[in-house]
Structure 1
Amino acid sequence: MAQLNHHDVLAPASLGPVKLRNRTVKAATYENMARDGLVTDQLIDFHVEHARGGVAMTTVAYCAVAPDGRTDHHQILWRPEAVPGLQRLTDSVHEEGAAISAQIGHSGPVNNRKSTKTRPIAPSRHFNKQFLRVVGAASKDDIERVIDAHGAAARMAIDTGFDAVEVHLGHNYLASSFLSPNINRRKDEYGGSLANRARLGLRILDAVREAAQDRLAIVVKLNMDDGVPGGFWLDEAMQVAQWIEQSGNADALEMTAGSSLLNPMYLFKGDSPINDFAAALPEPVRTGVKLVGKHVLREYPYADGYLMQDALQIRSAVSMPMILLGGVTNRQTMDEAMSAGFDFVAMGRALLREPDLINRIAADSATRSLCNHNNKCMVTTFTNTRCVLRPAPVENPSKTTNITERAAASGQVG
Structure 2
Amino acid sequence: MMKFEKMSTPITIGNMVVKNRFVVPPMGNNFANTDGTMSEQSVAYYSARAAGGFGLITLEATVVHPGAKGGPRKPCLYDDAFVPSFKAVIDACHAHGAKVSIQLQNAGPDGNAKNAGAPIEAASAIANKCGKDIPVAVPTARVYELAQGYGEAAKRAMAAGADAVEIHMAHGYLVSSFISPRTNKRVDEFGGSFENRMRFPRLIVDAVKKAVGDKVAIIARINGADDMPGGIDVHDAATIAAELEAMGVQGLHVSRAVHLKDEFMWAPTQTHAGFNAEQAAEIKRAVSIPIITVGRYTEPQYAELMVREGRADLVAFGRQSLADPELPNKALAGKLSDLTPCIACLQGCVANMFKGEPICCLTNPALGYESQNISPASTAKRVLVAGGGVGGLYAAFLCAQRGHSVTLYEASDTLGGNMRLAAFPPGKGDLTNMVRSAIVKCQKTGVQILLNTPLTMDEIKAENPDAVIVATGATTLMLPIPGIDAPEILHGGDVLAGTVAAGKKVLVVGGGMVGCETAAFLGERGHDVTVVEFRDTCGADVINEHRVYLMEDFRNYRIGQVTSAKVVAFYTDGVDYDSPDGSRHTLRGYDSVVLSMGYRNYDPLSADLEAAGIPHYTIGDATRARRALDATREAYDTALEI
Q: Compute the TM-score of the two structures, normalised by the length of structure 2.
A: 0.54
Matches of 1:33 and 1:269, distance apart in 2 = 23
1:10-30 CA-to-partner distances (Å, cap 9, x unmatched) read 122322211222111111111
Q: CA deviation at 1:392?
A: 5.6
Give 2:93's aligned residue.
93
Q: Give 1:172 shift.
A: 0.6
| Residue of 319, 337, 346 corresponding to 1:375 | 346
1:386 aligned to which of 356, 360, 381: 360
Give yes or no for the alignment of 1:337 onto 2:306: yes
Corresponding residue number in structure 2 for 1:318: 287
Q: Secondary structure at the match of 1:386?
A: coil
Separation (CA, whole Å) in 1 of partners of 2:17 and 2:63: 26
Cα deviation, 1:290-347, whole Å, max 9, x if unaligned, reads: xxxxxxxxxxx41111111111111121122111111322332122111231221111
DSSP-derived class of the 2:177 partner: helix
Q: CA-to-partner distance for each residue in 1:95-141, whole Å, 9 max, x for gaps?
A: 12211110002111111001111111111112343544321100122
1:65-98 CA-to-partner distances (Å, cap 9, x unmatched) read 1023321243112112212211111111111221
Matched-pair contact (CA < 8 Å) for 1:171–1:223: yes
**Which residue does the alignment assign to 2:276?**
307
Conservation of the 8 A alpha-carbon contact between 1:33 and 1:384: yes
Separation in 1, partners of 2:134, 2:202: 27
AA aligned opposite 1:350 = Q
Identical columns (%): 29
1:255 aligns with 2:254: yes
* Kept in 2: contact 1:112–1:131 (CA 8 A): no
Which residue in the other structure is 1:238 paired with? 238
CA contact (8 A) 2:257 2:264 kept: yes
Q: Which residue of 1 aligns with 2:579?
A: none
Q: Which amino acid in 2 is paired with 1:346? A: A
Structure 2: how far apart are the matches of 1:9 and 1:177? Answer: 34
What is aligned with 1:150? Answer: 150
Instruction: Give the alignment of 1:4-403 within 5 angstroms.
Output: 8-35=6-33, 36-78=35-77, 79-247=79-247, 249-260=248-259, 262-271=260-269, 301-341=270-310, 342-364=312-334, 367=337, 370-376=341-347, 377-381=349-353, 382=355, 383-391=357-365
Shift, 1:254, TM fit:
1.1
Q: Tell me, in whole angstroms, the C-alpha distance in 2 between the residues paired with 1:230 and 1:37.
A: 36
Deviation at 1:268, TM superposition (A): 2.0
* Secondary structure, aligned partner of 1:68: coil
Contact 1:68 1:107 in 2 (8 A): no
Distance in 2 between residues matched to 1:365 and 1:237, nearest whole Å:
37
Partner Cα separation in structure 2 for residue 228 and residue 81 of structure 1? 40
* Paired amino acid for 1:136: V
What letter matches 1:357 in structure 2? L
Letter in 2 for 1:270: P
Compute the RMSD of aligned alpha carbons: 2.0
Cα deviation, 1:146-188, whole Å, max 9, x if unaligned, reads: 1000110111111111111111000111010111222111111
Contact 1:7 / 1:343 at 8 angstroms: preserved in 2? no
Aligned partner of 2:282: which letter? Q
Cα distance in 1 between the residues matched to 2:108 and 2:118: 11
| Mean CA deviation greater in 178-187 or 331-340 | 331-340
**369 and 219 in structure 1: CA distance in 2 versus 1, 3 angstrom threshold:** farther
CA contact (8 A) 1:107 1:174 kept: yes
Higher mean displacement: 71-80 or 216-225 = 71-80
Structure 2 residues not aligned, in runs of 5+: 370-543, 545-642
Q: SS state of the match for residue 135, structure 2?
A: strand
Amino acid at match of 2:364: R
The one-letter amino acid paired with 1:263 is: K
SS in 2 for 1:358: helix
Does the residue aligned with 2:127 lie in a helix, a strand or coil?
Answer: strand
**Which of 92-101 and 7-16 deviates more?**
7-16
Q: Supply the AA of the counterpart residue of 2:136.
A: G
CA distance in 2: counterparts of 1:245 and 1:83, whole angstroms: 29
For residues 82 and 378 of structure 1, what CA distance do their matches in structure 2 show?
26
- Amino acid paired to 1:141: A
- Secondary structure (helix, strand or coil) at the match of 2:153 reads helix
Residue type of the alignment partner of 2:317: M
SS of the equivalent of 1:157 reads helix
Would the aligned equivalents of 1:7 and 1:338 in 2 still touch at CA under 8 Å?
A: no
- Name the aligned partner's letter for residue 71 of structure 2: D
Offset from partner CA, 1:201-246 (integer Å, 9 cap, x none): 1221121122121101111101121122221221211111111112
Shift of 1:47: 0.2
Give the structure with higher Rg (CA): 2
C-alpha displacement at 1:33, in angstroms? Answer: 0.9
